[in-house]
Amino acid sequence: MAVIETNLTSPVSYNAGEELPITVTFTAPQAGVYYLLGGLYTVNYEYIAGTMFGIVLPAGATYYINSYTETQLWEAAAGETEELTCGFTLAMTNIVLSLFLMRMTGSVPSLTDDVEEGSVALVLTSEASPVNLNLGTLVSALVIVGLMGVAMKEIAD
């Protein structure tokens, strides 16, 4: 098993603003305190500023959510596995969602000092509805518009 994985495989159909149901599973490679971070990237894997988030279980909730202000810590023994049922709500689509398992090295989370133990990335694509274009209908509409133009010109003369 990978250090961190999800129940989804890329590409994932996702519309911005909707809840993305996802199960995140991580295994602690060594004893320590861990947390999860997420971030959004362009399809060229360029970080989108301001999109980093933590994962927390709000009081009284049954599943974890993404939070732009905090993250939850897990103390785990080596080889211990956590499975988190999550519901993320993201402000955009046609992006890459990356999740990172971080191991704390100090007393508080620090992107400067903590160790990234693993990551997973999912491509999120929109559910663009296909455009059904009937050429016969389009040609008929253009003919009618053309005939109306001719008729209007005749009335004006």
At 89-134, the pLDDT tens digits run 999 999 999 999 999 999 999 999 999 999 999 999 987 533 333 4
pLDDT (0 to 100) of residue 157: 52
Does the reported pTM lie above 0.85?
no
pLDDT range class, residue 137, cuts 50, 70, 90: very low
Answer whether residue 60 shows pLDDT above 90. Answer: yes
1/13 Cα distance (integer angstroms): 25
First to last CA, the chain: 81
* CB-count exposure of residue 118 (10 Å: 0-12, 13-18, 19+): middle
Strand partners, 97: 40, 122
**Token pair of 89 as six digits:** 């709500």
Sheet holding 4-6, edge to edge: 4-6, 19-27, 81-89
**Does residue 21 have a pLDDT over 50?**
yes
Pairing of strands 115-125, 12-13: parallel
Question: Angle at Cα 131 formed by Cα 127 and Cα 132, nearest 5°?
Answer: 135
pLDDT of residue 2: 77
Three-class DSSP category at 6: strand
**For position 134, what pLDDT does the model report?**
45
Summary mean pLDDT of the chain: 85
Q: What's the pLDDT score for residue 1?
A: 57
Looking at the predicted structure, is the pLDDT value of residue 3 above 50?
A: yes
Angstrom distance (rounded) from CA 91 to CA 152: 49
Q: Tell which wins on pLDDT, 141 or 109.
A: 109
What's the CATH architecture for 4-130? Sandwich (2.60)
Burial 83-104 (b: 16+ CB within 10 A, else e): ebebebebeebebbbbbbbbbb
Across 122-150, average pLDDT: 53
Predicted local confidence at residue 149, as pLDDT:
47
How do the domains of the chain map onto residue ranges? Answer: 4-130
Share above pLDDT 70 across residues of the chain, in percent, rounded to a whole number: 80
